[in-house]
Structure 1
Amino acid sequence: MKWIVAVFAVLVLMSVFVGAVSAEGETAPTNLKLDAKPASISEGESVTFTFSADGATKYSLVYDDGKSDSGVTSPKTHQYDKAGTYTAILTAYNESASSTKDVKVTVTEKVVEPKIINSVTVTLSASPQAGNLPSSNTATSNTEGVKSSVSSSWNPSSRFEVGKEYTVTVTPEPKENYKFSSESTVT
């Protein structure tokens, strides 16, 4: 029994040291080099693979995203569309054998900056309940989730992100002297 284990161990070691030789005794391509630049990208961006091998006559690349190319030459560019970690595998061939090498590519979610509306006109009206409007009016803009500033009396300005809905409320002071006739929703 020990003899069988010893023979098996020798065979495993031989396969490790002779890994570049095919079953027919032919030498597979050696000295494989594979590089991915950049190795970390955002969704929708491309990676350029550069590669070489001694004794290779043909190459193929498997990108680990369901796509592959055969008969490729270096450099080869590939676009990754979804976030994730991918293992790109290069296979170098000659007439009767092949060798492989892999490289990791990290794809992160693309950060999309929100589109900002530069100018939105919101019309609100107020009327005094008693007396005349004071000569100096002050408005407070209470726009939830939006950076807002009052540029002058009754002329607040805010930046709104496209595709969201905001309710704009103007509060005159003292508010008990005024009655609102409308409220505006910005979409």
Structure 2
Amino acid sequence: MAVIAALTPTLLIVLFRFVPVPMTPLMVLRLAQGHGWHHRWVPLDRISPDLAKAVIASEDNWFCAEWFGFDVHALGDQIAALSEGEYARGASTITMQTAKNLFLLPGRDWLRKGIEALLTPQIAVLWPKQRVLEVYLNIVEFGPGIYGAEAAARAFFGRPAAGLTRQQAVQLAVVLPNPLEWSAAAPTSYLKERAAVIDRRIGQLGWLLSCAR
């Protein structure tokens, strides 16, 4: 039984390489909290490329060039900060967030981070970059009870994910750190400033956005 339990995440990772993800632990938790459940899976070619680029520019600039799903640049900064007794900022990549969303509930304890670190390279090795983006953009939380690009695009802008403008894509990307409090449809002044930064960054990243085209 222990062997089966240990292999189950890997088997699911292999399965989800080809099959849409029907639900995640976070979706179930939010439903129990009374947030509802709005989720509609669509393939990557029915999601505006602008959203993929905006998410990379906002969440993980090195995503297209990362090996094994980790950002060695950010990890180096974290280690340096910890060695100097400073607070280490997050170094979570899109692949790490995908692993977390697929299998784990929210939290910052070391056990959870350790499990996430074990699952991340498996996803990075078994899935191409486009599949990581496809799964991430279909399961990530964009608002209370709103999961994935299609549900978010329809809820906030009244259009399918394929029809998102670049500005709308950026507005969705900037709410990801705090989707329960921030709204893409009614951005605060801070979110507007953040969106302008991300919009400029998209134009600066060049080949680092190659896997999102």
TM-score (norm 2): 0.15
Q: Which has the larger radius of gyration?
A: 1
Relative contact order (alpha carbons < 8 A, sep ≥ 6): 1 or 2 greater?
A: 2
Structure with greater proportional helix content: 2
TM-score (norm 1): 0.16
